[in-house]
Amino acid sequence: MLAEVSTPPVVILVRPQLAENIGMCARAMMNFGLVEMRLVAPRDGWPRKGAHQAASGAGSILETARLFETTREAVRDLNRVYATTARERGQMKPVVTAEEAADDMIGLADARAGVLFGPERMGLSNDDVALADRVLSFPVNPGFRSVNLAQAVLLVGYEWWKRASGGRAPMAPGRTPRPATREHVLSFVDFVEAAMDKTGFFYPLEKRPIMARNLRNIWHRLDMSEQDVQTLRGVFTSLVNALRSEVRPPPPVDGKDGDPSA
């Protein structure tokens, strides 16, 4: 269940070049609850072949996408605008991460926010950035700053959705395992140590108390469930039984007690 937060930010793709990238942006938006796409002067016009296939089920966002001739027209009804860029633009604007921008958007109440994403080859122009209140940048590897258009949309959407949804995991474990009782664990440990006594593990004997104590500490640090103890006991039982079969005396010969000279 979503918290009562502001309307999802508008995703504004400025002069996008490839239909497939527009479709993948729609898919990223749908993943994280962003519902409104605006397109500013797509290079090859709109609608474009290939976008729906790349959207992979998020075609509803493409079908309701709005088309604008200029960035100014696309942002005029918004209260706060963020411009995504990896380059320093020399403009006196606050620079925020996607995480900080999401916090800011959540606090806008009834106001509307939009995020500008530039064309794949060159990014936003300085005139586009000038229309924004804040610059949004990602803390990426400084040696390789290039971020795919759909990846940029996904990063912004993820941070916004994480706050809008409460940040909880989408699924819970089927059931919580019951912790093993101390008696259950100690019974298992006694069984293991008895088997190790028979194999001669504790050598020299004067060091047995310290070695046994160290082993018990290992078992206790595992914080085992009842199922864990039962499984491990089954494993060690199988190993002990196999060991016993290997040291079993040879079968009798000719019905006698194993003595071929009898």
Domain co-membership, 30 together with 153: yes
| pLDDT value of position 7 | 86
Domain co-membership, 142 together with 18: yes
| pLDDT value of position 168 | 77
DSSP-based three-state secondary structure for 2: coil
Cα distance between residue 122 and residue 152, in whole Å: 14
Using the 3D structure, point to which of 136, 164, 192 is the last residue of a domain.
Answer: 164
In a domain, 4, yes or no: no
In this structure, what CATH number is given to the domain that contains residue 114? 3.40.1280.10
Backbone CA torsion sign across 20, 25, 30, 32: positive
Q: Give the pLDDT of the chain (262 residues) as one tens digit per residue.
A: 444 456 899 999 999 999 999 999 999 999 999 999 999 999 988 887 889 889 988 899 999 999 999 999 999 999 999 999 887 777 888 999 999 999 999 888 778 999 999 998 888 999 999 999 999 999 888 888 888 999 999 999 999 999 988 877 766 666 778 888 989 999 999 989 988 888 888 888 888 999 999 988 998 898 889 999 999 999 988 888 887 777 555 566 665 554 444 4
In a domain, 232, yes or no: yes
In a domain, 22, yes or no: yes
Contacts of 127 (CB under 8 A, 6+ apart): 71
Domain co-membership, 100 together with 211: no
DSSP 47: S
Domain co-membership, 160 together with 241: no
Cα distance between residue 184 and residue 1, in whole Å: 41
Domain co-membership, 197 together with 156: no
Domain co-membership, 220 together with 120: no
| pLDDT value of position 260 | 42
| pLDDT value of position 262 | 40
In a domain, 169, yes or no: no
In a domain, 261, yes or no: no
User: How many residues does this entry show for the chain?
Assistant: 262
Domain co-membership, 150 together with 45: yes
CB of 33 closer than 8 Å to CB of 163: no
Query: Alpha carbon 67 to chain centroid distance?
Result: 34
Please tell me the total count of domains within the chain. Answer: 2
In a domain, 3, yes or no: no
Domain co-membership, 42 together with 79: yes
| pLDDT value of position 223 | 87
Residue that has been written with the tokens 């509307």 in this structure: 112
Kindly state the tokens that stand for 87: 């380059």
Q: How far apart are the first and last CA of the chain?
A: 84
Domain span holding position 240: 182-246
Domain co-membership, 206 together with 137: no
Q: Rounded to two decimals, what is the model's pTM? A: 0.69
In a domain, 172, yes or no: no
In a domain, 170, yes or no: no
Domain co-membership, 155 together with 200: no
Domain co-membership, 51 together with 116: yes
Domain co-membership, 95 together with 64: yes
